[in-house]
Structure 1
Amino acid sequence: MLTINSIKNGVVIDHIKSGHGIRIFKYLGLDSVDYRVALIMNAESEKLGKKDIIKIENTIDIDFTVLGFIDPDITIDVIRNEKIDKKIKLQLPQTIENIIKCKNPRCITSVEDYVTHEFYLVDAEKGEYRCKYCDEIYENDK
């Protein structure tokens, strides 16, 4: 039987699409921290069928833009004294910078290193973004 205790103070990242938990775990650098963390993969979920969950027994800075880009259906629970203090529902960000790179070899971002890779959301249902400079399409695998 799998037992994961509740946390006193920290963060629970919930409703992660099954299989994306490890990606978020690594992005947050949780594989090299000295406090308690739990990555639960393929947990049963009424809403998703299966989901991943990350429990972090510490308060950390999280870039919600990146997490929303990785999986817009994530919810983040901030835990204080073993109770949910705040619940944050993520969504696809309208714009993203330096999270993905433009693959168009003729784009200015491919030629000039100092230019920021900027994309804007054009279709939330498809998770489709376009490069600000050349209109190259990037489709998020949400």
Structure 2
Amino acid sequence: MAILNIDSIENGYVIDHIPAGKGMAIYNYLSLDKLDCQVAIITNAKSQKNTVKDIIKINELVDLDMDIISFVAPNATVNVIKNSQRIDKKKLDMPKQIKNIVKCPNPRCICNNEDIDHIFKLTDSKGTYRCLYCETMAL
């Protein structure tokens, strides 16, 4: 059996409770590949609440767009680590509006044909986002 060894974080973040398979989406949306620090993505980790989950560890305190994280993984938590100690645990709320995170799937929508922002509004408690301009549901 192989041993998985991921160093502890001195200063940075642990994004936890990401649904299995969504960790790479958060990694890509946040452009974590452009950071000069260590970033670990753990997929299919055992979880007590769910059967499996993804976890992202970022070994530096950088600006994170919490709206992106909560859009992709509404039940995720973000642990803030300083001096190797968790100083804060943020439970995220779904943003009322997202901007330029996803594109409208409607090819005729004005935001796909003009140089304007792709804006989606949260329309219900189930996490449905609809385009501000054409009401098409975000995928």
TM normalised by structure 2 equals: 0.87
User: Which runs of 5 or more residues in structure 2 are unaligned?
Assistant: none
Query: What amino acid sits opposite 1:46 in the alignment?
Result: Q
Deviations 1:39-96 (A, max 9, x none): 1111110011101111111111100111111111110011011111111111321111
Is the 1:78–1:86 Cα contact (8 Å) retained in structure 2? yes
Q: SS state of the match for residue 102, structure 2?
A: coil
1:36 to 35, 38, 41: 38
Match of 1:6 in 2: 8
What do you get for the CA RMSD once the two structures are aligned?
1.7
User: Which runs of 5 or more residues in structure 1 are unaligned?
Assistant: none
| Larger strand proportion of the pair | 1
Is the 2:29–2:68 Cα contact (8 Å) retained in structure 1? no
Shift of 1:132: 1.4
Q: SS state of the match for residue 135, structure 1?
A: coil
Is the 2:77–2:90 Cα contact (8 Å) retained in structure 1? yes
- Identify if the C-alpha distance between structure 1 residues 133 and 88 changes in structure 2 by more than 3 Å, giving closer, same or farther: same
Q: SS state of the match for residue 24, structure 2?
A: helix
Q: Superposition pairs for residues 1-142 of structure 1, below 5 Å? A: 1-113=3-115, 115-125=116-126, 127-139=127-139
- Identify if the C-alpha distance between structure 1 residues 107 and 18 changes in structure 2 by more than 3 Å, giving closer, same or farther: same
